[in-house]
Amino acid sequence: MAGAMVSCSTEDIAPSTQNDKVAVQFTGGISVNTRAAGLAWADGDMIGIFMTGRQTLSADVIKEGVDNVCYQSNGSIAFSPVSGGKTVFFPIDGDVDFYSYYPQTTVNDYKVALDVTDQTKQEAIDFMYAKTEGCNKATPQVFLKFLP
């Protein structure tokens, strides 16, 4: 999966914790003219998230089981776990990278199959991706800048 580098943001929001782990607070931005179906996130838009140990995305470098974890938008830039889904926590120590893509679906060997033969439902083929590097629990807000 290709990626673009962006940085973690630094807003002052109290992070949630679990056994000394800090929950990641994801927000997502869309570059101008990247969406075929609208200019902003819609309520219920779902993204897939992967967390790696500062290495290229592969099964060997996935951290904390964050392997295509589904988060959804509430219509704003904030993303949260789908109902009954997994909350992403930072590892206790070290920096991580996040890979994300839209729309969330099943992946095979870290590749997304995208069928564009039927273009009547633009949101189904509106593929975007993001990569955010060097994040850690000291700054739990992670901004994902999605590109086409």
Structure tokens at 10: 């630094």
Q: How many domains does the chain have?
A: 1
Question: Using CA atoms, how far apart are residues 75 and 40, in angstroms rounded to an integer?
Answer: 8
In a domain, 25, yes or no: yes
List pLDDT tens digits, range 1-48: 444 434 444 444 455 667 788 999 999 998 766 665 667 899 999 999
In a domain, 82, yes or no: yes
DSSP 21-56: EEB-EEEEEE-TT--SS-SSPPEEEEEEEEEESSS-
Entry pTM: 0.85
Structure tokens at 146: 């999605």
**Domain boundaries, position 96:** 21-146
**CA triplet 2, 99, 61: central angle to 5 degrees?**
100
Let me know: does 10 contact 141? Beta carbons within 8 Å. yes
